[in-house]
Structure 1
């Protein structure tokens, strides 16, 4: 007797008029992965890059995300220290072991206690990079890797993101195009690609908004000016 799983898949195949082990299916899937045709891209995000940066900042701030803009990466530790002081937080940070973050002059702020590694339940503040910022919706694109553990995106109450202006794209399709360019073959793709639009919130219970139900209750971005957009 077939299992419930087999019955479910059989029903789906019947609805799609597909057969088991159809020899055409692997080629169809391979062609779709290699070709990755673009969907319709909204015109509002197809603007000069400086306008994309302004749109991204406006979108994230409308989502209760706070933003600091700095002229140099050297200014980042000071802005993070200011954020901690503003919210009366301890000076301990769990930081992604990412080259951009490891190169920051943390020693300029000796009171900051920087620890690199994965997020744990006891971590209150994380600092991570982002792969891209999507101007159209004010969304961060994050992916897992040895230097960007996903736990830092979701476990601590305060998620601080350091990113360059050149990482901001117009639309979701543009961000995916950059990821394909960076990683190449699908075999090199990360286990997870996450999209974060504002801090975690839900209104599932009696329609009352609650922050931090499924992730950080606060999201803060330190945006570093670095010139023109990426190719």
Structure 2
């Protein structure tokens, strides 16, 4: 095992030495772009419409809210209409924790923190959305435990309409700018609820994560 490992590493070293360091460094620093599809270059209102269309096409559901203060009532209504458990695990984000849950979502048990094994519903804020595929971008951090994106059966995500961009390239630019050129430890790209077709090519939701994804789009887009 040791000899095999050493041979593999030596092969990697020789291959690496054959490439000019300056070429690699330049490519990594310049972040070159590939072709951008036309639907990634839409104005803001059309980006929002495309994001909604693409997200719904992969079994997510989308609701529009005027302000963040509408979140508690919208969450309570979503759970009640689907007869889902009236318990909610919030990401430990102050903006979510300080919402008027008792006033606008009475009867809903609300907790915050990391995901627990028996959590049925989670609520987390998205960093951004990508219109061309209806994809949510969520990154890890103290206020955004990654487990909340995957353990609960029902995943509810808040997304500011102004944070819906056209392409993935824009996401990486924003993330590098936010973290002074460095990227977060984890960046999750979520497109619809978890699914698989491994068994007889039949789509099954919730195979490796949440079986429901509900997106609360807040406010209006901005150019």
TM-score (norm. length: structure 2): 0.91
**1:34-53 alignment runs, 5 A limit:** 34-53=29-48
1:170 deviates by 0.3
**Number of equivalent positions:** 222
Counterparts of 2:10 and 2:201, CA distance in 1: 38
Aligned to 2:218: 224
1:152 aligns with 2:131: no
Counterparts of 1:89 and 1:197, CA distance in 2: 22
Unpaired segments ≥5 residues, structure 1: none
1:79 aligns with 2:77: no
1:60 deviates by 0.4
Q: 8 Å contact 2:91–2:143 — kept in the other structure? A: yes
Aligned to 1:58: 53
1:30 deviates by 4.6
Q: 8 Å contact 1:72–1:226 — kept in the other structure? A: no
Counterparts of 1:177 and 1:18, CA distance in 2: 27
1:70 aligns with 2:65: yes
Counterparts of 1:199 and 1:140, CA distance in 2: 11
Mark the CA change 1:68 to 1:35 in structure 2 (over 3 Å): closer, same or farther. same
**1:6-155 alignment runs, 5 A limit:** 6-12=6-12, 17-19=15-17, 25=21, 30-108=25-103, 109-155=105-151
Q: CA RMSD in A?
A: 2.1
Counterparts of 1:5 and 1:43, CA distance in 2: 46
Q: 8 Å contact 2:45–2:221 — kept in the other structure? A: no
1:67 deviates by 0.8
The match for 2:161 among 154, 165, 176 is 165
2:201 match: secondary structure: coil
Q: 8 Å contact 2:129–2:136 — kept in the other structure? A: yes
TM-score (norm. length: structure 1): 0.88
Unpaired segments ≥5 residues, structure 2: none
Q: 8 Å contact 1:124–1:158 — kept in the other structure? A: yes
2:16 match: secondary structure: coil
Runs of 4+ in 1 over 6 A off after TM superposition: none
1:226 deviates by 4.0
